[in-house]
Amino acid sequence: MKPEIITENKFADVPLRVKTWLYIVFVFTVSISHPIAMKFFIAWIGYQVFYEVLRMFDIKINLMLTSLIIGISELFLLLFLDLNTYFISPFQLVLGAIVIILAKKVTRKQLLGIVLGFLLSLTIFPHLLLVRESFLGVKALVFLVVVTELNDVFQYFMGKLFGKFKVMPKISPNKTWEGLIGGVFVTILLSNVLGYFLLPSSIISNTVLSFILGVFGFFGDVFMSFIKRKTNVKDTGNLLPGHGGLLDRMDSLIFNAPIFFWMLPLLLNY
Whether residue 120 lies inside any domain: the answer is: yes
- The pLDDT, as a whole number, for residue 164 is 83
pTM here is: 0.89
Give dist(CA 201, CA 266) in Å, integer: 11
pLDDT tens-digit map of 112-138: 999 899 999 999 999 999 999 988 899
Q: Measured between alpha carbons, how far is residue 62 from residues 69, 115, 219, 234 in Å?
A: 11, 17, 31, 22
Q: Which of 230, 194, 206 is nearest to 113 (CA)?
A: 230
Whether residue 133 lies inside any domain: the answer is: yes
Domain count of the chain?
A: 1
pLDDT tens-digit map of 1-60: 444 444 456 566 678 777 888 888 899 999 999 999 999 999 999 999 999 999 999 988
Whether residue 7 lies inside any domain: the answer is: no
Whether residue 205 lies inside any domain: the answer is: yes
Question: Would the pLDDT of 270 be above 60?
Answer: no
Could you report how far apart the first and last alpha carbons of the chain are, in Å? Answer: 68
Containing structural domain, residue 96: 14-267
Q: Could you tell me if 47 and 68 are in contact, meaning their C-beta atoms sit under 8 angstroms apart?
A: yes
Whether residue 237 lies inside any domain: the answer is: yes
Whether residue 9 lies inside any domain: the answer is: no
Neighbours of 26 (CB within 10 A): 10
Q: Measured between alpha carbons, how far is residue 91 from residues 74, 78, 88 in Å?
A: 9, 12, 9
Whether residue 5 lies inside any domain: the answer is: no
